[in-house]
Each structure stands twice: as structure tokens, then as C-alpha cells.
Structure 1
């Protein structure tokens, strides 16, 4: 019986950890959005940011990504656009490649995997936040 109680405690602790990690991802994604995307795409993602009227190509409404994709959020596409793999153009030139912007400049013992995991985590957090904005 004590073994069962221990297993239940471990499973419950893991569940709380996963919940906390998901909440943290959402907070990180919103923070990244506010810092890097809202100026063009607007605070709500509707494409009406302060810089939108200066762009040569209109900022898309990011709340309609799922609607425009038969109700399915195009997660992989969004990730590729954010990290620069698709070559999406804005401002008359390439959209900022956030894969480079999010990279750590501090490789070393404190960052043994380099910035690859850090970049992927930030891009995924941002994409997950965009998914939460869908109408």
C-alpha cells in the first residue's frame, strides 16, 4: 500500500510540473509576442499594430490562422515562419528571422547545448501563444 501511495504522489507531482511548464510557456510566448510582434501585428494579433501602416505588405491577422487553414492551427508552418525557414517577406524584404534574434550569445558550461534548444523553446512558446489567440 505505501508503494501505491508513493506512485500516486509521483504522478500527481509530475502533473503539477507539466501544468506549471505549460503556464510558463504561455507567459514566455506572450512576453515574446509583446516584445517582437505586437508592433506590427497588434496587441490582439489582428494585424493592426502601430507599425502596420508603415509596412509595404500588410501584417496578417494572426487570429485567423486556424480559420484560414480549415480550422486547424498550422503549427509547423507558423514555427517555420517565425524562425525564418520559409522566407516570408515583409517590409519589402525578409520578415525578421527570429531564430537568429532568439539565439543566445553566451555559449559555454552554463549553456552546454548552445543556443539551439533555447531558440527552439522560444519559437515554440511564441507559436503556442499564437495558437491561443485563434478565433
Structure 2
């Protein structure tokens, strides 16, 4: 009986962990659909309904790591989403999504050993984009 309780506890905690991971991923996808899909498309390939009216064709967001030699650039992606660094031109049609900076923050390691609070919505969208990379990233930089 004790063995059964231990196994049951492990199974229940595993299911809870999987559900939490799916919820996290679903929130990132939901935020993407709400803020990005009109231009980048539901499938994130740059063929959204509003893309035809833009001066700059939206990027295929499923190929971010491929364009960077197999590297997933987490901080760069978050910076593009929140508009903090405008390092790529022309980007006149790319809106700053200030709503991603609202709400709770989570601790994020920026890669130099320093941990800083980052808005959780911003991380959720960036992690969703990471999850749809084709091919999958081979290496990661913060």
C-alpha cells in the first residue's frame, strides 16, 4: 500500500508538472496570436492577414535560429518584442508590444551570472517562439 502511495504521488506530480508546462506554452502562444499573428500569421511564417499592407514583409519567426546559424538568441528576441533595442532596420512597421512588459516578473539569468527580473509575458512569448523553431536550435545564448 505504501508503494502505491509513492507511485501515485509521483504520477500526480508529473501530471501537474506537464500541465503547468503546457499552460505556460499555451499562454505564450495566446499572447503571440493576440499581438503578432495579424502580421506574422498564426503559423508565424510571416504571412499574416495584415502583412500585405506593410512596407517591410514580416519575418518568418520559425526560422530565427536558422538565420543565426542554429543559435537561439533569447535576449535579442525579447528585445525585439518589447522594443527596448531597435537594432534592425527597417522596422517602421514593427510595433512595440508594451503589454508584454505588464504583469508579474520572473528572475532571468542574462548569461553573465547576473539575475534580473523580466516580465513573465515577455519570456512566455519568446519561449513559445523558441518552441516553434524549424529546425530546432542547436545552441543557446541568453
TM-score w.r.t. structure 2 length?
A: 0.69
For 1:1-135, what aligned pairs fall within 5 Å after superposition?
15-87=14-86, 88=88, 92=92, 95-98=94-97, 100-104=98-102, 115-117=103-105, 120-135=119-134
Distance 1:14 1:97, change over 3 A: farther
Give the superposition deviation at 1:6: 8.5
TM-score w.r.t. structure 1 length?
A: 0.72
Structure with higher helix content:
1
- Aligned Cα RMSD in Å? 2.7
**What count of residue pairs does the alignment treat as equivalent?**
122
Structure with higher strand content:
2
For 1:11-42, what per-residue CA distance to the aligned partner results, in whole angstroms no more than 9, with x for missing partners? 66654443222111111011111111111001
* Structure 2 unaligned spans of 5+: 107-117, 135-142
* Structure 1 unaligned spans of 5+: 105-114
Q: Please say if residues 101 and 121 of structure 2, whose CA atoms lie closer than 8 Å, have aligned partners that are also in contact.
A: no
In the aligned structure 1, how far is the partner of 2:64 from the partner of 2:34? Answer: 21
For 1:45-78, what per-residue CA distance to the aligned partner results, in whole angstroms no more than 9, with x for missing partners? 1111111111111100111111111112222211
